[in-house]
Structure 1
Amino acid sequence: MLKIDRQKFIEKELHMYGSVLISDMSLKLNCSEETIRRDLKDLEAHNKLKRIHGGAFLPDADDKGAPTYLRETFLSKEKEELASYTIKNYIKENDTIMLDCSTTCLTLAQQLFITNIKVTIITNSLRIFNLFGKQSSAVKLIAIGGSFRQRASSFVGYQATDALSHYLADKCFISCPAVDLTHGLVDNNLNESQIRKSYIEHSRQHFLIADHTKFSDTADYVITKLENINLVISDRKLPEVWEETLKNCNLPIRYC
């Protein structure tokens, strides 16, 4: 198939489903995954899509984040290692914790569900709500409602931030879309950035759990400065510029 025909097919799939996986396109078009990667790179250069590791999606003008089901396919092993390390070292019995709507925090919740640690979770994530609705668990769940954001399966808006204002958690765990050298934690969605900001305001300790790719990405909405975080947890050693930046902010980093 010619390049122009492949790319037209990819665009059609994107407009039909909102996102595509490289592996799926490779099978459907009977070509290598590397060929699909080049096609996606070309299409992104023409502002036809937004690439993500493993696929691509159509960003919305007001919501540039990748859909949850697409993000779940990316770095699943690393997220499991981050979650396991975090639970082992930074979550204790009877803690009250806040978890955002990231797939990293969803993985953290899944491991809490399996280990059955007695904690209270406050979250705006529908995926986490559904996880603990399956069967009896030692976890106490507090659901933060509001306007439903389909792309992230989360609840946002003034109802959500107002509800959060009534709580004070021991710890919050944030895994935002990107971390910026100058501006700190940043988000793809304004409403979601306000939720994450509220988690930080209404918790005693603030943990950033971020795989290495988030330190080379960017986003549009500021959540908080690095100085307002107590600890960074990542999956592999960061570039020297990041190590130096975190050191200057007196912000320790731990690798799982």
Structure 2
Amino acid sequence: MLKLERHQLILQKLKTHRKVHSTILSVELQVSEDTVRRDLKELEAQHLLHKVHGGALSIENKILSYNERSVSDLDKKKQIAKKAVKLIHDGQVIIMTGSSTNLELVKLIPANINSTIFTYSLPIALQLSHHPTIEVIFIGGKLNKSAQVTIGIDVMNSISKLRADICFMGTDALNIERGMTESDWEVAHIKKGMIESSDYVVSMCISTKIMEARRYAVVPINDIDVIVTDDQIDESLLVPFKERGIVVM
């Protein structure tokens, strides 16, 4: 089998299954694992997949590190933050996910706002530590060093005992049929718990993630109260959400 044919078959399997294993590819393509690894390396160099230990993930399945997310689409995230900060008022109990969009949001909270913010994000907690009147409660657990957030059963248990007035939810993908979805199974469960513990849910979603879908369900679209997005959105994409009674900012 020619190399080009192998590459096409690998990409086709990624499109269908979102991930491939080197050992299985070696058998299916009838080549050595070293050859498979070289193929995956070449395809990664072309930005067609994300190579990981033992195989590869599709590009959309790659979970970006915090540093990668913090500089990606920064202008859009700042636009979203400027809109969302209008929803923050005195006396609220707020819960926030560890999104880089939420980091931009907390930078804009006025100095005279007096509220309580729960978060499992180290960067957000550190940023809020400079705010004069916000009470910051950090949700402890096992630290995911790449994402700079805590994860695990301790986080889930803490969230289940909370009752928040409003939740600002970083969003990996939002779809009218599939609702809010996530690329990471554990993150999906934590976000679901946060939404269940909140009276009002705000989806912080850049325009390129609207009408997208990922592998793991978080909540149906009717569990979202507000979508805050950037000004580059195609307005026609927002119509189905508005028809469901969701406020769009």
The TM-score with structure 1 as length reference comes to 0.71
Deviation for aligned residue 1:240: 5.6
Show the counterpart of 1:222: 217
Aligned partners of 1:217 and 1:167: how far apart in 2?
A: 30
Aligned partners of 2:185 and 2:114: how far apart in 1?
A: 33
Deviation for aligned residue 1:48: 4.0
String of CA shifts for 1:156-213, please: whole Å, max 9, x gaps.
1111010111110100011221113321111121111111111111111111111101
- Could you tell me which amino acid in structure 1 is paired with residue 125 of structure 2? F
The reply on whether 1:195 has 2:190 as its aligned counterpart is yes
Show the counterpart of 2:83: 85
Residue 117 of structure 1 is aligned with which of 106, 113, 117?
Answer: 113
Residue 43 of structure 1 is aligned with which of 25, 33, 46?
Answer: 46
Show the counterpart of 1:183: 178
Contact 1:146–1:159 (CA<8 Å) still a contact in 2?
yes
Aligned partners of 2:147 and 2:212: how far apart in 1?
A: 18
CA separation of 1:48 and 1:210: change in aligned 2, threshold 3 A: closer
Contact 2:207–2:233 (CA<8 Å) still a contact in 1?
yes
Aligned partners of 1:98 and 1:173: how far apart in 2?
A: 6
Aligned partners of 1:40 and 1:104: how far apart in 2?
A: 31
Deviation for aligned residue 1:82: 1.6
The reply on whether 1:138 has 2:136 as its aligned counterpart is no
Aligned partners of 2:247 and 2:137: how far apart in 1?
A: 30
Show the counterpart of 1:233: 228
Aligned partners of 2:232 and 2:185: how far apart in 1?
A: 30
Show the counterpart of 2:97: 100
Contact 2:176–2:211 (CA<8 Å) still a contact in 1?
no
Alpha carbon RMSD of aligned pairs, Å? 2.7
Aligned partners of 1:253 and 1:123: how far apart in 2?
A: 24
Contact 1:59–1:65 (CA<8 Å) still a contact in 2?
no
Aligned partners of 2:190 and 2:50: how far apart in 1?
A: 29
Residue 127 of structure 1 is aligned with which of 123, 127, 134?
Answer: 123
Aligned partners of 2:148 and 2:211: how far apart in 1?
A: 25
CA separation of 1:181 and 1:136: change in aligned 2, threshold 3 A: closer
Deviation beyond 4 Å, 4+ runs, structure 1: 39-42
CA separation of 1:48 and 1:125: change in aligned 2, threshold 3 A: closer
Aligned partners of 1:43 and 1:183: how far apart in 2?
A: 31
Deviation for aligned residue 1:40: 8.5
Show the counterpart of 1:76: 74
Contact 1:181–1:242 (CA<8 Å) still a contact in 2?
no
- Could you tell me which amino acid in structure 1 is paired with residue 47 of structure 2? E
Aligned partners of 2:68 and 2:51: how far apart in 1?
A: 14
CA separation of 1:69 and 1:40: change in aligned 2, threshold 3 A: farther
Which ranges in structure 2 are unaligned for 5 or more consecutive residues? 1-41
The TM-score with structure 2 as length reference comes to 0.73
Q: Percent identical across equivalent pairs? A: 22
Deviation for aligned residue 1:90: 0.9
Show the counterpart of 1:31: none
Residue 205 of structure 2 is aligned with which of 181, 204, 210?
Answer: 210
Show the counterpart of 1:64: 62
Aligned partners of 1:49 and 1:181: how far apart in 2?
A: 31
CA separation of 1:40 and 1:173: change in aligned 2, threshold 3 A: farther
